[in-house]
Amino acid sequence: MALIPPAAAVRHESACARLRAVPGKPFATIQRELRKFSQRIGARQPPRSGLEEASPELRTALWNVLHKPAFPEEEEHRERALAHARAMWNHLGWRTDQIPLLPHQMRESLAVEWFSCRWPEFFDLIEFTARTLATSAAPVRQQWFEMLNRILEAKGCAYRFIAEHLVPLTNTAEATEVVRGAESAIPAVGAHIRAAAKLLPPNGEANPRNSIRESIAAVEAALSHLNGNPSATLTDGLAAYEATHGPLHPSLRQGLTLLYAYTADPSGVRHPLIEETDGVTGDDARFMLVTCSAFTNYLLTLSANTSRPPS
């Protein structure tokens, strides 16, 4: 639940805009131009923060944009600061009767945890803080997470926010496809893609096998919706889809059919008798998430442009 009151939405949007760009220049251009001299000439590599780490540079960059909206100093926003503190203290398992009285004291208390906790707890805290501070107004909320993603990218972080959850995807094209899938116009597709993303390692509830199941289910949901047949499998759904919207390229159809066969055979991930996770990796799950997201997006785009009655 957003804890920023509606009256603060305009101020929050303005803050996002200031962080997003300077008039006349895209934010990405400014980021490139502001790289340090040593990075521009190649004498020093840009910052990197791997899957199982949270670098000091990353922690500092995120702290610098989050601590003020979390604990505003103005007297009229004191209740908001206290509400944020209660939420964060509860998230961390701290006693709420020991919350400091003043916002700068709240910041100092949280900073100790922020800069010293292990990387899993840090990313838990980032996810929670980002959602807590996000306004409920949809456009501003989206800009908020886009701004945070730019910081993650600038600091070489191995994660991006997708559907408001941190996901181990750094390739911009791949992330774009997954975001489109997670926000699909077909609700069932979006739900399956979001579920698949949440199950990717190294999240605490990671399950690569179930992530792949959700990714495949997204494709089946897209075909079922577009064909009006809720019980259609991927193979049957493809045939019905082609009858309505025209044939897919034979190589594309064959590749998708073989990929589905891999996930459905006795050594794959959908066979009910094989439930152990051995042999199914996070890389397999990420590949299927990106592939299935891109394919559902492709199906929706194609169906919008081509529609014909069955012959």
164 domain-assigned: no
Question: Does 16 have pLDDT greater than 50?
Answer: no
Q: Looking at the structure, do residues 222 and 286 belong to the same domain, yes or no?
A: yes
Q: Looking at the structure, do residues 262 and 216 belong to the same domain, yes or no?
A: yes
168 domain-assigned: no
Q: Looking at the structure, do residues 185 and 276 belong to the same domain, yes or no?
A: yes
Over residues 199-205, the mean pLDDT reads 81
Q: Looking at the structure, do residues 30 and 148 belong to the same domain, yes or no?
A: yes
Collapse the DSSP code of 220 into the 3-class scheme (helix H, G, I; strand E, B; otherwise coil) and give the result: helix
Residue pair 223/238 in contact by the 8 Å Cβ criterion: yes
Over residues 192-221, the mean pLDDT reads 88
Instruction: Return the higher-pLDDT residue of 238 and 195.
Output: 195
Q: Looking at the structure, do residues 14 and 127 belong to the same domain, yes or no?
A: yes
110 domain-assigned: yes
244 pLDDT band (50/70/90 cuts)? confident
163 domain-assigned: no
Question: Does 90 have pLDDT greater than 50?
Answer: yes
pLDDT of the residue at 173: 84
pLDDT of the residue at 13: 47
262 domain-assigned: yes
Q: Looking at the structure, do residues 217 and 284 belong to the same domain, yes or no?
A: yes
pTM: 0.69
Q: Looking at the structure, do residues 216 and 151 belong to the same domain, yes or no?
A: no
Among 126, 158, 190, the domain boundary falls at: 158
C-alpha of 238 from chain center: 28
1 domain-assigned: no
201 domain-assigned: yes
pLDDT of the residue at 254: 82
The total number of structural domains that make up the chain: 2
Domain range enclosing 184: 177-305
171 domain-assigned: no
Residue pair 290/221 in contact by the 8 Å Cβ criterion: no
Q: Looking at the structure, do residues 199 and 282 belong to the same domain, yes or no?
A: yes
Question: Which range has the worst mean pLDDT, 95-104, 111-120, 199-208?
Answer: 199-208
DSSP string, 28-71: HHHHHHTS-HHHHTTSSPPP-B-TT---HHHHHHHHHHHHHHHS
Q: Looking at the structure, do residues 57 and 88 belong to the same domain, yes or no?
A: yes
Q: Looking at the structure, do residues 293 and 198 belong to the same domain, yes or no?
A: yes
